[in-house]
Structure formats: C-alpha cells, structure tokens
A = this chain, B = another copy of it.
Amino acid sequence: MIKAGIIGSTGYAGAELARLLLGHPEVSIVWYGSRSYVGEEYASIYRNMFRFVDAKCLDDNMEELAQEADVIFTATPQGLCASLVNDGILEKVRIVDLSADFRIKDVKVYEKWYGLEHKSPQYLPEAVYGLCEINREDVKRARLVANPGCYTTCSILTLYPLVKEGLVDTSTIIIDAKSGTSGAGRGAKVPNLFCEVNESIKAYGVASHRHTPEIEEQLGYACGHEVLLNFTPHLVPMNRGILATAYASLTEKVSYEEVRAAYEKYYGGEYFIRLLPEGVYPETRWVEGSNFVDIGFKLDPRTGRIIAIGALDNLVKGAAGQAVQNMNLMFGLAENTGLTQAPMFP
C-alpha cells in the first residue's frame, strides 16, 4: 500500500482527495493535514466521512510527514509548498503539489501574476507539469509534480490538438470559462455565501486571472511559439463543474472529419478524454464526480472559426482526480486505478 499524506485536507480539493484515496485499492491515508483544524476530528468537519475516517487533523509538518508517507499531496494556498519543500524531503517522498507553485517555469511570470516571492525556484526545472495526457512519460519519472489548475486542465485539453497541429491561429484564441463554486474554496467570504452566488452569474478576474499564463505556457509548448490569449472565468451557481468554451480562427479550410482526426490522434487512446459525437457538446452534469473530460466542437463556416468546448469536474480532473492520476503514474500503477467510477447524475 502506498502511504499518502494530505496537507490541506479540509479544503474542498483536499477533501475530494480524501474521498478518492479512500476508494483507491492501493493507498492508505496516513496524514490529514489542516492548519485550521489541528486536533479536531476530520469527520467532524466533513461529516460525509463519519465512519470512514477516525483520524484527527494534523499540522503542516512536512519533515515529519516525509518520514511517514510515500507521497504527499499539498492542497494548500500558493506559496506553502514552495516554502516547505527541500532536498531532504524530495529524497524521501514524492510530492504532488495542487497549488500553482511549480506550474510555471519562468519564476518572473509566477511572481508577477501571483504577487508572491517564489521560495524555492531551484526545483522548477525538475518539477513536471502533471497533465498526464500530455506529459505522461515525464510524470512517471518525477519526484515533484505540479498538478495543473482546474481551468487550465479544461482549457488546454480542449485546445491542445488544434494548437499542436497548427489548425488554429493562436493569436485569435479566446477562452470563456464557467466554474462551479467549489472552485472558490471553503474560506468564509461574503461573496461566496449562498445568497450571493445563487441566482447569479458573473465574470471575475477579467483579463487578469492567474490561470492565463499557465494556459499560455502550455499551449506555447504545443505550437513552439509564444501564445497570448484571453481567458475569462465566470462563477456559476452550482457546486462542481467547469465548462470552457474556446474560440479560434482556423488557419485553413478544414472539414469536421479532419479536425476530428486531429483530436483522435492525440486522444484516441486516452481513458479520461471522451470525444463526443458530432453535434453533441459537453455539459458539466455528465462528468460530475468523475475524472473525465468531455470535448465537442463545431466549425462555423460563416466566420471561419472553430468553437471547441470542454467540460470536467473541477474537483476531480481539475484537482484531486488528476492528482491521483499523477500518483498512479509515479508509482507504476494503471493510470485509472481508483478513478473508474461512472459520473453521478443527477
């Protein structure tokens, strides 16, 4: 059994990690970390876990945790993982960091968008961006995996084949994304109260959301040149789910079948990517609770654009599920171990 520790286990992503790891046949959780709830019973904070978890919450002592665990998941605010990791820890334990600390290779870009000093940029070169479908082989060998952001996973996977194959003019990419409210975290803030979110939709982080450079960097790797794009997230009155509606101008006249072939080329063998039939578009309800990404697209001959749409569960493929997928790869397990449940509807 793989011994897993979770730092930040009482946030929504951390709690989803607990749920998924409890159902994973090869893992036992040895550490429920939560700075805010040290000493409290985990199941008193997440009562769905009553009878499943007897443990109390522990602090953020990564040194001690590195002794006890084979893998550490850090589902914590930006900056924490970078401030705690060191050579000794990395020699003992594998880390899947769900924060943004190691996602962006250029430390200046990170510091600009996140407004933080990076405490351990020396690990940026070895950190692997854990988008398994694209970096699978690197993940297998990694000690430190930067688990991608929720919006970025959805946005990149929706556009990757188009960009990689040069089918779209990257200077025309616009991503309009919509997320359920669990993406805003479990902090007690007025804007996230039920009555503030319910019966409303809004854009936020307009032309300034931190997932923008992450998407740009990864799509830049795909096409071999710098990408600048617009990314606008919106808050939707639902618990889970991200929908990314991406627009781009096609570089040439192509048929639906030709574009589909590009998607099939990269995703044909992927367990977690479901390319939908022609004329069918993703809806977040169909992926809820699962690690799937559903993708559909349409060509608009009137404007010469493609509209490509992706959907995932922000807490699963957008966070905890992808983290488990990364762990599976790092430990030589089948990639979908513990992640084969059908989505739950309604």
Contact = CB atoms under 8 A, between A and B. Distances in A.
A155 to B, nearest CB: 14
A186 B190 contact: yes
B202 A50 contact: no
Contacts of A303: 207, 228-230
B46 A345 contact: yes
Contacts of A228: 302-303
Given A193-B186, A228-B302, A236 B288 contact: no
Given A49-B342, A172-B172, A194-B237, 5 more contacts: A188-B188, A196-B285, A198-B346, A199-B239, A240-B346
Interface stretch (A57-65, A135-143, A160-168, A173-181): A173-181
20 contacts: A47-B286, A48-B345, A49-B342, A50-B276, A176-B232, A176-B247, A180-B199, A188-B190, A194-B239, A196-B285, A199-B239, A201-B238, A202-B282, A203-B309, A207-B299, A232-B245, A234-B245, A236-B237, A239-B346, A289-B289
Contact of A48 (B188, B245, B247, B342): B342
A327 to B, nearest CB: 18
Contacts of A50: 274, 276, 286, 294
A147 B24 CA distance: 30
Interface string A127-167: 00000000000000000000000000000000000000000
A74 interface: no
Interface string A288-299: 111010100011
A124 interface: no
